[in-house]
Copies of this chain bind each other. A is one copy, B any other.
Amino acid sequence: MNEQASGHRAGPVRSAAARDAILAATARLFQGQGYDHLTIEGIAKEAGVGKQTIYRWWPSRGALIAECLTDGRLIPIDFDVPYSGDLLRDVEEWLGSVLAILETPHGAMLLRSLVAAAAEDAEVGDHLSASLGVDRHLAERLAAGIRDGQLAADAPVELLGHAVLGTIIVQSLTRRPDVAGALRELVRYLVAAR
Interface residues of A (CB under 8 A from B): 1, 15, 17-18, 21, 35-36, 48-49, 112-113, 115-116, 118-120, 122, 125-126, 128-129, 152, 154-156, 159-160, 162-171, 173-175, 182, 185-186, 189-190, 192, 194
Q: Which of A154, A160, A163, A186 has the most CB of B within 10 A?
A: A163
Given A156-B186, A159-B185, A166-B166, answer yes or no on A173-B119 (Cβ-Cβ < 8 Å): yes
Give the distance in Å from the alpha carbon of A17 to the alpha carbon of B2 in the complex: 10
A1 with B49: CB separation less than 8 A: yes
Chain B residues with CB under 8 A of A48:
1
Task: Say whether chain A's binding surface is mostly helix, strand, loop, or mixed.
Answer: helix
Given A159-B186, A168-B166, A186-B159, answer yes or no on A173-B118 (Cβ-Cβ < 8 Å): yes
Q: Which of A118, A168, A170 has the most CB of B within 10 A?
A: A170
> What's the number of copies of this chain in the assembled complex?
4
- What distance in Å separates the Cβ of A128 from its nearest Cβ neighbour in chain B? 8
Give the distance in Å from the alpha carbon of A170 to the alpha carbon of B162 in the complex: 6
Chain B residues with CB under 8 A of A1:
15, 17-18, 21, 48-49
B119 with A189: CB separation less than 8 A: no
Given contacts A162-B170, A163-B186, A166-B170, 4 further A-B contacts (CB under 8 A): A1-B15, A116-B116, A163-B190, A190-B190
- What distance in Å separates the Cβ of A84 from its nearest Cβ neighbour in chain B? 24
